[in-house]
Amino acid sequence: MGRSPRCEKVGLKKGPWTPEEDHKLLAYIEQYGHGSWRALPAKAGLERCGKSCRLRWTNYLRPDIKRGKFSLQEEQTIIQLHALLGNRWSVIATHLPKRTDNEIKNHWNTHLKKRLTKMGIDPMTHKPKSHALSPSQLKDVANLSHMAQWEGAQLEAEARLVRESKLQVSNPFQTQLGSSASAQFVYEATMTTTAPLLPPPIQPLCLDVLTAWQGSWLNAPKCNEFPATSVTLDSLTSTFNFSRKGEAMGLSSHFPDEMEVLQLQGLAYSRDIDDSLATGNENILLPNFMEAGLADILLDNSSQLYPSITGGSYGNVAGSSNGDFEVEENKNYWNNILNLVNCWPSGSPLF
DNA sequence: AAGATACACAACCGCCAAATT
DNA sequence: TAATTTGGCGGTTGTGTATCT
């Protein structure tokens, strides 16, 4: 039997920690470090098993832990990453600075899972429930699944690299980009801070259309409609809307529930539609942004759809809180989109 | 007011892989 | 190389608190 003795076998204390115990553990670790967890309790004067001490430290006492309410952005990040990674809480936790995997897991189980269920979304698949999918939707699902595997592998690789670098990297993009930070940005941010310790970067693959778009926009010259001084990383997490020319109404006022679904999913993507089309289903946004009409926007720029950025609670672009743009007036904008299509890795599914 | 129920979250358990002997 | 130990992970339970009946 290679199994180590368990707490109960030696009559050690279990259950909630008292403030005195916390103090002993904290004082010991601050002075000596934790060293061998197994040996710690005796040295620190605690009648606990080492495992209990480790858990108490990593999930509660560690100084670099943020406690309390999860922000909307944190929730978006969790949902988005969960869609990609499933219940790999430790990997997800590497993308939420100062949050523990246990806390994230608890928050998912007690809040987010229920919320998605309530909205008719299967919390495991992140797809709408009880809707027969059309063939094209099935194709999208298959593509997304492929993307999820790919991106998930990237995230894992990145988490591993961070671990191996033995550095706690606080990722500047994480806080600024919030939920929209995906593998590419996080990876780049990591590279800039730990470059000497990491192997050459994997060629980043933009598997998230929105992120890729944001990335290309970041590197592109700013167009007049977005005064450079007001364009911040934060503003890039704004809601992306597509509206018909001359119709700049906010989708959220027409479809608050759907809007919330998208925002919770961290997709922050919507498509404004004409009032007259509101009852027609084909244009109503779907939780899956790949299904939300991006294809025809990307591939058919003669369509009557125009991109705009609105602020709302997701940050704002000063001076253009609800600007619609003519295609020809926004060459940069469209070029970014077209670049995305052109740069898409051959053989990778796009739509 | 009191018991029942629901909820939130800390803590535990068993398993596994990596590290150590 | 095999055996053992250690630390980490995800699922689950236990406990305290809030809300309901």
Q: Which residue is nearest to nucleotide B7 (CA to C1')?
A: A110
- Enumerate the nucleotides of strand B whose atoms come under 7 Å of any protein CB: 7-14
Is it the case that residue A263 has pLDDT exceeding 70? no
Residue A154 and residue A187: Cα distance in Å, rounded? 9
pLDDT at residue A111 above 70? yes
> Which token pair is A298?
């990307």
| Local structure of A1: helix, strand or coil | coil
Over the stretch A4-22, which tens digit does the pLDDT of each residue have?
344 445 678 888 999 999 9
SS3 (DSSP) at A92? helix
Percent with pLDDT over 90 in chain A: 16
CA-closest candidate to residue A307, choices A329, A289, A285: A329
Closest nucleotide to the alpha carbon of A90, via C1': C9
Q: How many angstroms separate the CA of A40 from the C1' of C4? A: 20
SS3 A5: coil
Question: Strand (E) positions, chain A?
Answer: 121-122, 127-128, 239-244, 305-310, 322-324
Contact A301, A259 (CB under 8 A): no
Residue A171 has pLDDT above 90, yes or no: no
Is A57 near strand B, with its CB below 7 A from some atom of it? no
pTM metric for this prediction? 0.52
Span A104-116, mean pLDDT? 91
Say if residues A232 and A184 touch (Cβ distance below 8 Å). Answer: no
pLDDT band, very low/low/confident/very high, at A129 (cuts 50, 70, 90)? low
From the Cβ of A59, is strand B under 7 Å away? yes
Nucleotide nearest to A86 (CA to C1'): C10
pLDDT at A193: 26
What is the pLDDT at residue A105? 94
Lowest-pLDDT range, A85-94, A116-125, A197-206? A197-206
Q: How far apart are CA A99 and CA A65, in angstroms?
A: 6
Question: Six-digit token pair at A98?
Answer: 């100062």
Q: How far is the CA of A264 from the C1' of C20 (A)?
A: 29
Torsion of CA A180, A184, A185, A190, to 10 degrees: 140
User: Which nucleotide has its C1' atom closest to residue A8's CA?
Assistant: B12
Which residues have Cβ atoms closer than 7 angstroms to strand C? A 2-4, 15-16, 35-39, 50-51, 54, 58, 87-91, 101-102, 105-106, 109
| Per-residue pLDDT at A143 exceeds 50 | no
Beta pairing partners, A199: none
What is the CA A13 to C1' C19 distance in angstroms? 32
Per-residue pLDDT of A218-246, as tens digits, reads: 333 322 222 222 222 222 222 333 332 22
Structural domains of chain A sorted by starting position, each given as residue range(s) with its CATH number in brackets: 11-63 (1.10.10.60), 68-130 (1.10.10.60)
